[in-house]
Chains A and B, each alone.
Chain A
Amino acid sequence: MNSVHDMGGMHGMGAIAPEPNEPVFHHDWERRAFALTLAAGSGRWNIDMARHARERMPPADYLRASYYEKWLCGTERLLLELGHVTPEELARGKALDRVRDAPILRAADVPKTLRNPRAARMDDHLAAPRFKVGDRVRTKNIHPVGHTRLPRYARDKQGVVDRDHGAFIFPDSHAATRQKIPQRCYSVRFEGRELWGPNAGPRDAVYVDLFDDYLEPA
C-alpha cells in the first residue's frame, strides 16, 4: 500500500538525531510492548501480517508515534481483527471470557522459538530462476492496496540482478491470506541516477531485495 511507512526518498523529515549511550528501551512500557507483541503473535499471526498492521495506521498517527507505539497499535489491531479479543475487553483490560487451550508461548520455549533457523526461507521449493546474476531487470509499475515489499522509489526502474538469494515466502500473499507461497528473491542493484535523476551521485547505488513477481526482463 502507498502509505507513509514507505519513506525512501521523502524530503522534510529533518536531521537524524543519534543518542549517545542509548539504552535498549527508554521506558518500561516499551519493554512490555516489545515482549507482548512477540508473545501474543507467536502461533497467531506472521511477520508480514504484523508489518501490514503497522502500515495501516492512519498516516498522521504513524508519523507521530514512537517505534514501540507502532508495535502496540499493530498488536491491538491484529488481536481485534483476528477475534482474539473484543473491543470491550481491550477498553477494560479485562477478559470477559477465557480461551481454553489457546496456543501460548511458554517461557521455557522462548529460546527455541527465537532460534528457529527456518523463518521465511523455502529453498526446498526452488523452481528454476527466471533471472541470473548480471541480468537487466525492470521493476513493475504496480501499486497494490495490500502489503508489498516493493518500495515506491524502486518501481518502474531498471536495475541489474546482483545476487540470487533463493526462495522465500512471498510477503504480499503471506500478509493477505497466510499462504506460504515460495518465490525467488533477488538483490537488484539500481544506480542512484536511475532512481533519483541527474542530481544523484554518479558513484551511488541502492541494492533492494526484490521478489520475482515485482520484476520483468529489461
Chain B
Amino acid sequence: MSQIHDHDHGHDDERPGPHGSPLTDLQLRVRALESLLVDKGLVDPAALDVLIDTYETKVGPRNGARVVARAWVDPEYKKRLLADATSAIAELGYAGRQGEDMIALENSQQVHHLVVCTLCSCYPWPVLGLPPVWYKSAPYRSRAVIDPRGVLREFGVVLSDDVEVRVWDSTAELRYLVIPERPAGTEGMTEEQLAQLVTRDAMIGVAKVEAPRR
C-alpha cells in the first residue's frame, strides 16, 4: 500500500469508519478487495503500483498540450493531425489505452467543438490523462448535449450566436481532442512556450487559450 496520506475534503464517502477507526468504509473495502485478489493470485501488487505511477506521473494533459503546440507551429503536422490523429499523436510518442483511435477537432472563429461522454466518462487518456471530476459528473454529462452554450457560459466562454457549436458524444471507441484556437499575440513564442499555455479544459472544448498577460 502506498503511504501517501489521504486529503480529507469532507466528502460523504470519507466519513469515519466504525468504532472510531480512522479508515473510511471505502478505504476498508478497497483494502479488503486488494488483499483478497493478491491472496487469491489474481492480481500482482507491483502491477498496481506501475498502473498508478503511469497515470499519476507520466500521462497527463501536458501530452495533449505538446500536440496542440506542434499543430500551431507546423502546418504540415496540423494537416496530418486532422487527417489521421492517431498516427500524428503517435509521432510525439503518445498512444495506447483509451486513445487507440483518435480524432482531432479544430476550433475556429466559425465552429466551436465540445467533447462529452453522456453514457460513462470516455476520455482520451494518452493525451489528457485521467478525466477531472467535473467531466465525469452528472451535471456535465446531462447538460453538455442539451445546453452546450449554457455549459460554456458556466466555464466563462461566451460565444456569439453566429458561431456553430458541435458537441461530440464519445459513445463508441473513438476519442476526441480539441485543437483550440491559437491566441493572438503569441506569434513570437516557441513551441515549448506555447505548450505551456494550452490547458486541459481547452482541449476538452470548455475553455479558450489565453495569451499571457504582459
Contact = CB atoms under 8 A, between A and B. Distances in A.
A94 B172 contact: no
B184 interface: no
A181 to B, nearest CB: 14
Interface in B169-204: 169-174, 201
Contacts of B118: 6-8, 151, 153
Interface string B18-57: 0000001011011111111101111110111111101110
B143 interface: yes
B143 to A, nearest CB: 7
A28 B171 contact: no
A116 B36 contact: no
Contacts of A9: 142, 145-146
A117 B100 contact: yes
Given A40-B37, A89-B36, A114-B97, A207 B119 contact: no
Interface residues of B, number: 87
A158 interface: no
Given A38-B51, A39-B48, A66-B11, A149 B138 contact: no
Contacts of B161: 201, 203
B33 A151 contact: no
A22 B146 contact: no
Interface of A: 5-11, 13-19, 22-29, 31-36, 38-40, 44, 51, 54, 63-67, 69, 72, 75-76, 79, 84-85, 89-90, 92-95, 98-100, 102, 104-107, 109-111, 113-121, 149-151, 153-154, 163, 165, 168-169, 171, 185, 187, 189, 195-196, 200-201, 203-211
Given A13-B139, A27-B27, 16 more contacts: A8-B116, A8-B146, A31-B56, A35-B51, A36-B34, A107-B44, A115-B95, A115-B97, A120-B100, A163-B103, A169-B173, A200-B146, A203-B165, A209-B171, A209-B174, A210-B171
